[in-house]
Structure 1
Amino acid sequence: MHVRPPKTPGTPIASRRELVEYLEQGCKPAADWRIGTEHEKFVFRHGDKRPLPYEGEAGIGAILKAFVDRFGYEPVLEGENIIALVKGKANITLEPGGQFELSGAPLQTIHQTCGEVGEHLHQVRQVGRDLGFGMLGLGFNPLWKRDDIPWMPKGRYKIMGSYMPKVGGLGLDMMTRTCTVQVNLDFASEADMVKKFRVSLALQPVATALFANSPFTEGRPNGFQSFRSHIWTDTDPDRTGDLPFVFEDGFGFERYADYVLDVPMYFVYRDGQYIDASGQSFRDFLDGRLPALPGQVPLLTDWTDHLTTVFPEVRLKRYLEMRGADAGPWGRLCALPALWVGLLYDQTALDAAWDLVKGWTAEERAALRRDVPRHGLATPFRGGTLRDVAVRVVEIARAGLRARARMEYVGDDETHFLEPLAQIAESGRSLATELLEKYQGAWGGDASKVYDEYAY
């Protein structure tokens, strides 16, 4: 999640070309490629397993203050409220329903990423013991009703929350009841970006199936493997989806900038305040004709803000964001970057992944995006199932990690981080399948047991 330092100065944008150049500036040599992992968690009160409000001695605000006092984070304020934390190149932010997100530092190896995740969850447990809360990583909250979830005091969320019901049926559920894990990865050139974008977009349904763990809504099975993924199909069609134009001839930074320019705006940030510009046009803003700020032209910070308000399955900033996975248990938080680094950061693996997907049609990709949230690895595909594809994808990723040969101090490379995914692909059994079996068996129809067995 984007964190804006207070009163960030901005440079006025003189032309559309500057927007394209901003994206182009993400190109960097392979030696400088990094791995940035983000993961969200539901915060719940021990005892009744209810969501926490922002206010109170054991509320979300108090948790953020404890991280400042104990672990050296710097607070980011909106008004008088702490709404984010910064420490070095990592930050902690809040999603609308109080989901607690670590946006990790850009790191060189999966070993470092997993160490960062482990340290963060250790801190979570320390504070949780004292304040009486726990955290759960699943794609969709298994118990809570949307109306029972307190909203966090962030101006952008108030604007988004008012706009969402106008453009889709499940946008408010996305904001308050979902959690994801994602990884952000670099590219060397426009051509490298295009190839990585196409491969990762085509294979995003595979990640969705491998990480699927959101089969419950308000305590009952909902008929999906990843209800979180399904929610994105009915959130806002202007800013979501699998972006068929990415596979068209001529796609590059300029075409993506044009796509973002055509996505309706949410807000403009000025003098510490979010100004409602929902539904208005960034192209009009470039011409000084934005109704919310007549006569003014955008700053570069307005463009970087606007880039964060598009939500496709893969998102381009100055890096590529992989956005298709449910949040999950500790080992899965390390497995997601391992999957995508293995596929995208070794040229031979990237070429093999492209060979796998380059013949898929737009209709086939759309069908996977539509059907995988419900059927997961059992989704029919090309005479078999998606499980067949997943097995091959994990094999390619393993070879890519082996070729990277990034060793930790005991001599292991990064391939072991893929083991949870290899087991799921080989067996065809996702965590969603496991949860449903426990619900129907040992849990006796009580979905709240997930908090006891799977909380961090």
Structure 2
Amino acid sequence: MTISKEHVIEYFKSGIKEKKDFKIGIEHEKFLFDSKNNKRIDYSKVKEMFSGLNEFGWNPIKEGENIIGLNKEGKNITLEPGNQIELSGEKLNNIHEACAESYDYLFELKQVTKKLDIKIVSTGFDPISKLDEIPNNPKQRYKLMTNDMPLGGELSLDMMYRTCGTQLNIDYSSEEDFFKKFKVVNSIVPISIALFANSSIVEKKKSDYLSYRSKVWQNTSRGGLPKLFFENLNFEKYADFIINFPILFILDKHKYISGNKYTFRDFMNGKIDEIKNRLPTESDLSLHLSTIFTENRLKKYIELRSMDTCGWDCLCAGPAFFIGMLYGNLDEVYSLISSWDKDKIINAYLDAPQKGFNTQLMGKDLFYWASTLLEISRKGLNNRDMLNKSGKNETLFLNHLQKVIDNRTTNADHMINKFSKNEDLKDLYDK
């Protein structure tokens, strides 16, 4: 089946689910370092690590002869451009399940990395390495991206090789539900940046940013926070957006081909000579949607992508924060943000990586808004009242964020304080 605009709209509609069937998907990335020399691990070490994970039931994913990831029971471990690894979790029912999944994965990962003298770093930006020190891997698409991405954003290679994020995937029950959720998640991006800032050290020095990762993503090709996302966005308008969006690459007969001269509309109109003017399929559409690097994006679900990666103490806090609002208390948070001015949101978005909680938005600082949203989220998680075996609901996962608010101190601030005392690289590794 080839793709028309109507097919794109139907693709998004096919993601609509009953509220009782809403799921939660979490993805999070990690940096891996050789503890003997404080350098990022190379591909040969990745293969050793993947081999070790086979013992825990993980199965290899191959591209030609090369192992590029692992899978197990609906979960995937994928290999990022600079040999960061990402867990893409199963679609689960609540934060208890999602957090248990992450805990099991990190337990297995640590068993293997300990044997191989690999250290894990859970920050939004590589705190140690220079860009030219980072090894790559043979994954095909990354060669094309390394060539083409810098043409549209000066920090694109830093994004590929030196950033790690946490992503949350959520469902929608109707086109209106999508619109409300998408407007909320885009409006609160500045607050998310400030609250989850965890990338203050760059190349073994204080960077003058709290979330240098967010600064990088703002200067990355195909990224950012388009003004369109604050309008009354429906599936048709989002379809128009992605149809007119440039193509990054096309997968044709198992080979990746640069798409940097074309938009997806050109593809739909049969105007790409390099692939003999063939028309796109649904898998081509899916690939295109996954290469739009905006702060949030739509597939058959909504992806939230504005959080820096963090360690175990806060890994579950971000997803809990958003699920409380978006699944448990959407009307209240939508009512709060619906009158916000989009230009002021974008100004706050640009300021937040450096100023953090001191950034101004609608006459208040982001600390005020983060505190307000935390209480809205807490109400939402209480509304959901999903209990674990000990009879506790999902609000327990907000404890880390409550400490951030009580002390007005983020992970980025902790890292600055800890590292500044003795500038010991060991302070950057996960304990």
Alignment match of 2:156 (pick from 171, 175, 186)? 171
User: Which digits, 9 at most, give the CA deviation of each residue in 1:42-81, with x for residues without a partner?
Assistant: 01112222111102xxx1122122222x122221111211
Counterpart check, 1:44 vs 2:33: yes
Question: Which position in structure 2 is the counterpart of 1:342?
Answer: 324
Alignment match of 2:258 (pick from 263, 276, 282)? 276
Counterpart check, 1:247 vs 2:236: no
Report the CA distance between 1:351 and its aligned residue.
Answer: 1.1
Aligned partner of residue 40 in structure 2, secondary structure: coil
Question: Which position in structure 1 is the counterpart of 2:46?
Answer: 60
Letter in 2 for 1:38: E
Aligned partner of residue 269 in structure 1, secondary structure: strand
Counterpart check, 1:330 vs 2:312: yes
Question: Which position in structure 2 is the counterpart of 1:9?
Answer: none
Question: Which position in structure 2 is the counterpart of 1:22?
Answer: 11
Counterpart check, 1:413 vs 2:393: yes
Query: Closer, same or farther in 2 for the Cα pair 1:295/1:164, shift >3 Å?
Result: closer
User: Which digits, 9 at most, give the CA deviation of each residue in 1:272-328, with x for residues without a partner?
Assistant: 221222232211111111132132111110000000000111111111111001000
Counterpart check, 1:104 vs 2:89: yes
Query: Closer, same or farther in 2 for the Cα pair 1:128/1:190, shift >3 Å?
Result: same
Aligned partner of residue 194 in structure 2, secondary structure: helix
User: Which digits, 9 at most, give the CA deviation of each residue in 1:380-406, with x for residues without a partner?
Assistant: 233331100000000000000011000
Question: Which position in structure 2 is the counterpart of 1:77?
Answer: 62
Report the CA distance between 1:14 and its aligned residue.
Answer: 4.5
Counterpart check, 1:228 vs 2:213: yes
Question: Which position in structure 2 is the counterpart of 1:437?
Answer: 417
Query: Closer, same or farther in 2 for the Cα pair 1:383/1:267, shift >3 Å?
Result: closer
Aligned partner of residue 278 in structure 1, secondary structure: coil
What is the CA–CA distance in structure 2 between the aligned matches of 1:374 and 1:451, rounded to whole Å? 20
Aligned partner of residue 306 in structure 2, secondary structure: strand
User: Which digits, 9 at most, give the CA deviation of each residue in 1:206-253, with x for residues without a partner?
Assistant: 1111110111110111110000001011112xx22222212323x211
What is the CA–CA distance in structure 2 between the aligned matches of 1:95 and 1:378, rounded to whole Å? 33
Q: Note if contact 2:32-2:41 (Cα within 8 Å) is conserved in structure 1.
A: yes
Aligned partner of residue 142 in structure 1, secondary structure: coil
Report the CA distance between 1:342 and its aligned residue.
Answer: 0.2
Question: Which position in structure 1 is the counterpart of 2:382?
Answer: 402
Counterpart check, 1:203 vs 2:199: no
Q: Note if contact 2:419-2:428 (Cα within 8 Å) is conserved in structure 1.
A: no
Report the CA distance between 1:450 and its aligned residue.
Answer: 2.6
What is the CA–CA distance in structure 2 between the aligned matches of 1:32 and 1:450, rounded to whole Å? 42
Instruction: Show the 5 A alignment for 1:375-390.
Output: 375-390=355-370
Q: Note if contact 1:226-1:326 (Cα within 8 Å) is conserved in structure 2.
A: yes
Report the CA distance between 1:117 and its aligned residue.
Answer: 0.7
User: Which digits, 9 at most, give the CA deviation of each residue in 1:388-445, with x for residues without a partner?
Assistant: 000000000000001100000110000010111122123221111111122332x2x3
What is the CA–CA distance in structure 2 between the aligned matches of 1:165 and 1:247, rounded to whole Å? 27
Q: Note if contact 1:221-1:436 (Cα within 8 Å) is conserved in structure 2.
A: yes
Report the CA distance between 1:358 and its aligned residue.
Answer: 1.1
What is the CA–CA distance in structure 1 between the aligned matches of 2:150 and 2:3, rounded to whole Å? 34
What is the CA–CA distance in structure 2 between the aligned matches of 1:192 and 1:212, rounded to whole Å? 28
Letter in 2 for 1:136: V
Report the CA distance between 1:449 and its aligned residue.
Answer: 3.1
Q: Note if contact 2:340-2:362 (Cα within 8 Å) is conserved in structure 1.
A: no
Q: Note if contact 2:127-2:428 (Cα within 8 Å) is conserved in structure 1.
A: no
Aligned partner of residue 399 in structure 2, secondary structure: helix
Question: Which position in structure 1 is the counterpart of 2:426?
Answer: 449
What is the CA–CA distance in structure 2 between the aligned matches of 1:155 and 1:91, rounded to whole Å? 18
Q: Note if contact 1:282-1:290 (Cα within 8 Å) is conserved in structure 2.
A: no
What is the CA–CA distance in structure 1 between the aligned matches of 2:216 and 2:277, rounded to whole Å? 38
Q: Note if contact 2:75-2:88 (Cα within 8 Å) is conserved in structure 1.
A: yes
Alignment match of 1:310 (pick from 286, 292, 298)? 292
What is the CA–CA distance in structure 2 between the aligned matches of 1:165 and 1:355, rounded to whole Å? 39
What is the CA–CA distance in structure 2 between the aligned matches of 1:317 and 1:383, rounded to whole Å? 34
What is the CA–CA distance in structure 1 between the aligned matches of 2:277 and 2:355, rounded to whole Å? 51
Q: Note if contact 2:317-2:398 (Cα within 8 Å) is conserved in structure 1.
A: yes
TM-score when scaled to structure 1?
Answer: 0.92
What is the CA–CA distance in structure 1 between the aligned matches of 2:32 and 2:257, rounded to whole Å? 29
User: Which digits, 9 at most, give the CA deviation of each residue in 1:318-370, with x for residues without a partner?
Assistant: 11111001000113111111011101002xx2111112211111111111110
Q: Note if contact 2:252-2:275 (Cα within 8 Å) is conserved in structure 1.
A: no
What is the CA–CA distance in structure 2 between the aligned matches of 1:24 and 1:246, rounded to whole Å? 18
Query: Closer, same or farther in 2 for the Cα pair 1:14/1:39, shift >3 Å?
Result: closer
What is the CA–CA distance in structure 2 between the aligned matches of 1:83 and 1:392, rounded to whole Å? 42
Aligned partner of residue 388 in structure 2, secondary structure: coil
Letter in 2 for 1:243: P
Report the CA distance between 1:371 and its aligned residue.
Answer: 0.3
What is the CA–CA distance in structure 2 between the aligned matches of 1:198 and 1:14, rounded to whole Å? 27
Q: Note if contact 2:187-2:230 (Cα within 8 Å) is conserved in structure 1.
A: no
Alignment match of 2:345 (pick from 362, 365, 387)? 365
TM-score when scaled to structure 2?
Answer: 0.97
What is the CA–CA distance in structure 2 between the aligned matches of 1:404 and 1:140, rounded to whole Å? 34
Alignment match of 1:141 (pick from 126, 147, 154)? 126
Letter in 2 for 1:292: E
Residue identity over aligned pairs, in percent, reads 38
What is the CA–CA distance in structure 2 between the aligned matches of 1:271 and 1:85, rounded to whole Å? 23
Q: Note if contact 1:281-1:290 (Cα within 8 Å) is conserved in structure 2.
A: no
What is the CA–CA distance in structure 1 between the aligned matches of 2:64 and 2:51, rounded to whole Å? 15
Aligned partner of residue 283 in structure 1, secondary structure: helix
Aligned partner of residue 333 in structure 1, secondary structure: coil
What is the CA–CA distance in structure 1 between the aligned matches of 2:64 and 2:194, rounded to whole Å? 41
Runs of 4+ that moved beyond 6 A: none
